[in-house]
């Protein structure tokens, strides 16, 4: 990887790019995943490249929802495996969620590369790997319709980081609660999910792990109150307002 000086004003962003490129070289990330990352980075810039108040509220609600779930599953794609494999495994252990590899641009070689990196970072069981356990999620035509009958298909709560909107809609229609990370508050995924964390996953994942540890000490009623008090539509609106305010401040400076 390229040596990036810590003093560089875009050091964190450049490091994320390096991780994605490295992930592509290792066979984790599809070419299309690099383009998707660029789109997200543009929104991160508009959001001020920091975790705002609205994102923190969504993270708290997500932690409570995961801890209340009976069968939580975290869906893993190539970008997630390249950016934060260690943190995703830590989160799965913290909230007792299963991990399932699910890809839009799927091939066996890439799937095996993702499985390898997850296991390297401490994952024990990874679903979505055994064809005999595969079934189809209704209402979707892409390769992501193929899910594990013991994982996403049976889940009550599904975390879908860096997701595509059609599968989010299919999961909701299947009666599942969907939590997502999406830097674009106007995307189909953001608008369709039950809880949308509008933040860069490389920042938010650590906060979600930390919040899950705190909320795990609360009882079920306390967690349910956090969930019921969260309004995803209102939260998304707050993020749009944040973008507008940031643009207004920049325009004044210019």
How far is residue 224's CA from residue 131's CA, in Å, rounded to a whole number? 36
How far is residue 121's CA from residue 252's CA, in Å, rounded to a whole number? 46
Do the annotations mark residue 244 as ligand-binding? Answer: no
Do the annotations mark residue 182 as ligand-binding? Answer: yes
* Helices first, then strands: H and E counts in the chain: 11, 8
Do the annotations mark residue 189 as ligand-binding? Answer: yes
Please name the residues in contact with 234: beta carbons below 8 A apart, sequence gap of 6 or more: none
Exposed e or buried b per residue across 154-166, where buried means at least 16 C-beta atoms within 10 angstroms of its C-beta: bbebbbbbbbbbb
Q: What are phi and psi of 163, to 5 degrees?
A: -100, 165
Do the annotations mark residue 17 as ligand-binding? Answer: yes
Helix, coil or strand: residue 158: strand
Do the annotations mark residue 231 as ligand-binding? Answer: no
Do the annotations mark residue 184 as ligand-binding? Answer: yes
Do the annotations mark residue 199 as ligand-binding? Answer: no
Do the annotations mark residue 22 as ligand-binding? Answer: no
Do the annotations mark residue 57 as ligand-binding? Answer: no
| Binding site per annotation, positions | 17, 39, 182-184, 188-189, 200-201
| Binding site per annotation, positions for ATP | 17, 39, 182-184, 188-189, 200-201
């Amino acid at each position: 990887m390229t040596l990036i000086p810590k003093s560089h004003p875009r050091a964190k962003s450049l490091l994320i790019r390096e991780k994605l490129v490295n992930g592509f070289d290792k066979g984790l990330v599809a070419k299309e995943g690099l383009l998707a990352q660029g789109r997200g980075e543009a929104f991160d810039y508009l959001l001020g490249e920091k975790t705002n108040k609205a994102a923190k509220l969504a993270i708290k609600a997500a932690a409570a929802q995961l801890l209340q779930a009976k069968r939580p599953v975290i869906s893993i794609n190539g970008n997630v495996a390249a950016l934060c494999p260690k943190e995703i495994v830590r989160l799965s252990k913290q909230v007792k969620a299963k991990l399932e590899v699910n890809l839009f641009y799927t091939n066996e070689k890439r799937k095996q590369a993702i499985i390898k990196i997850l296991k390297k970072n401490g994952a024990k069981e990874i679903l979505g790997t055994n064809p005999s356990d595969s079934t189809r999620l209704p209402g979707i035509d892409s390769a992501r319709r193929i899910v594990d009958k013991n994982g996403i298909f049976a889940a009550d709560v599904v975390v879908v980081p860096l997701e595509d909107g059609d599968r989010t809609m299919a999961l909701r229609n299947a009666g599942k609660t969907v939590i997502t990370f999406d830097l674009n508050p106007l995307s189909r995924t953001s608008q369709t999910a039950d809880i949308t964390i509008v933040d860069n996953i490389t920042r938010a994942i650590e906060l979600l792990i930390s919040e899950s540890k705190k909320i795990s000490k609360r009882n079920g009623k306390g967690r349910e109150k956090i969930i019921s008090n969260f309004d995803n539509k209102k939260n998304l609106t707050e993020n749009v307002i944040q973008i507008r305010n940031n643009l207004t401040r920049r325009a004044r400076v210019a």
